[in-house]
Amino acid sequence: MIDVIVAGAGPTGLMLAAELRLHGVNVVVLEKEPEPTNVVRALGLHARSVEVMDQRGLLDRFLALGTRHPLGGFFAGIAKQAPQRLDTAHPYVLGIPQPTIDRLLAEHAIEAGVEIRRGRELVGLSQDDDEVAVELADGTTLRARYLVGCDGGRSTVRKVVGIGFPGEPSRVETLLGEMELTASPETLAAVMAEVHKTQRRFGAMPLGDGLYRVVVPAEGVAEDRTVPPTLEEFTTQLHAWGGTDFGVHSPRWLSRFGDATRLAERYRTGRVLLAGDAAHIHPPTGGQGLNLGIQDAFNLGWKLAAEVNGWAPQDLLDTYEAERHPVAADVLDNTRAQMQLMSTDPGAQAVRRLLSELMDFDDVNRHLIEKITAIGIRYDFGEGHDLLGKRLRDMALKRGRLYDLMHTGRGLLLDQTGRLSVPGWEDRVRHVVDLSEELDVPAALLRPDGHVAWVGEEREDLLGALRKWFGAAC
């Protein structure tokens, strides 16, 4: 029997599948589309997702095909320089189109031993105490111990298991596409500068080879957003907002997106779980959607693998929802706020000007950047040291780098005392005796996702943390 079926071969599903394979879990990914899409819905990775790739030894692949951009200007498009000394070794946005991200993650998953079956659509499922039966459009049935729906905002998995998806429908819609145009760079710059005084959802960004990414507000909200817009809709709306259509022609693809904001009532029903857009949708302001899904997968992978492999402590799998649901709720709130700040209404524009003034204060600017990039997340592990629940950034050790020690997906005890040990947990936790001038605690226990589960130097306290997060000793 398959251990885990993952529905959806987007970034969330591919990242999750690879994380499960790191722990020997038998994984099959089902994707209804026969071929990967060339539609560029996301444009890059924020700092926390860059850290995730670094923790798994993948970052060089992404850096080779991406471009590093400054961090400023991501909250509602308000341009400010990033504050100094952000708590990350990667203080940049890595510009890299989603099809390239998908390809790199698919290659990584296949190398790890994941089976990806394209052109296989999930249409139904049932479950009992022992397994999930997945029905496919071709009439076949697959069985697995667990199923994870990573199948997008219109998730079939979520609908079939009856998980509610409350929130707000779209009130505004935006047209998005890749096409060629004839206008000069000077004309583009002048028109965009004028329109951006009141409307940020407008512009044409060069992609190279004469191709541009064009965005413009739609006239209204379409009844069915699965139907792509026409080039005529683009020209009409570009004229309406900018007085010119920039001579757009030869579209590569055309799409539309709304500002619907919804969050699943729960992330798990029995042996079925949700991750990524299947669990939450929100406007793309701040570029957080793809990153949020990858980070869902990074949190869930090792926990679900622990359950499959039989060593998970009680309720470990439940911490996935307990930790990630509040993170998604916060992203929904900040995207709602950003959409308000991008409104053309005079009141919203006044609030935008006020926030721009406040962002000149370093603490305000830092807080918003840490929110967008997800480096400010701290899971609630109870009272304790300030590091508890936070992810630990990469840092230099006497014999290398911290993240180089995390490629295998095990937990890590970074021991600066040389007096500690992990007897009975060696298969789940790597014990490294090393020193870092950047770490001011005697020792730190990191979960496989890099979040700090314990700090200190007392052996009995360490044993308690090991049992809590990594189960009973062998």
pLDDT tens digits, 364-420:
999 999 999 999 999 999 989 999 999 999 999 999 999 999 999 999 999 999 999
Contacts of 121 (CB under 8 A, 6+ apart): 30, 32, 136, 137
CATH class of 396-470: alpha beta
Rg (CA), the chain: 23
Report the chain's terminal Cα–Cα distance, integer Å.
26
In contact, 85 and 370? CB cutoff 8 Å? no
Q: How many residues are listed for the chain in this entry?
A: 474
Neighbours of 168 (CB within 10 A): 12
Between CA 67 and CA 51 the distance in angstroms is 16
Ranges for all domains in the chain classified under CATH 3.50.50.60:
2-167+262-373
Ranges for all domains in the chain classified under CATH 3.40.30.120:
396-470
Per-residue DSSP letter, 365: H
Cα 67 to chain centroid, rounded: 18
CATH of domain 173-258: 3.30.70.2450
Partnered with residue 133 across adjacent β-strands are 126, 143
Ranges for all domains in the chain classified under CATH 3.30.70.2450:
173-258
Q: Report the amino acid identity of residue 309.
A: N
Between CA 93 and CA 51 the distance in angstroms is 11
Does the pTM of the predicted model rise above 0.85?
yes
The pLDDT, as a whole number, for residue 210 is 87
The pLDDT, as a whole number, for residue 131 is 97
Q: Tokens 């299947």 — which residue? A: 278
Per the rule left: phi > 0, alpha: psi between -120 and 50, beta: everything else, 205 is beta
Between CA 16 and CA 297 the distance in angstroms is 5
Contacts of 213 (CB under 8 A, 6+ apart): 40, 176, 177, 178, 204, 205, 207
Superfamily grouping for domain 2-167+262-373:
FAD/NAD(P)-binding domain (3.50.50.60)
Between CA 214 and CA 472 the distance in angstroms is 55
The pLDDT, as a whole number, for residue 432 is 98
In terms of Cα–Cα distance, which of 288, 266, 201, 228 is closest to 11? 288
Between CA 389 and CA 387 the distance in angstroms is 6
Between CA 30 and CA 28 the distance in angstroms is 6
Contacts of 268 (CB under 8 A, 6+ apart): 274, 317, 318, 320, 321
The pLDDT, as a whole number, for residue 227 is 86
Helix (H, G, I), strand (E, B) or coil at 386: coil
pLDDT tens digits, 226-260:
788 999 999 999 999 999 999 999 999 999 988 89
Q: What parts of the chain have a pLDDT lower than 50?
A: none
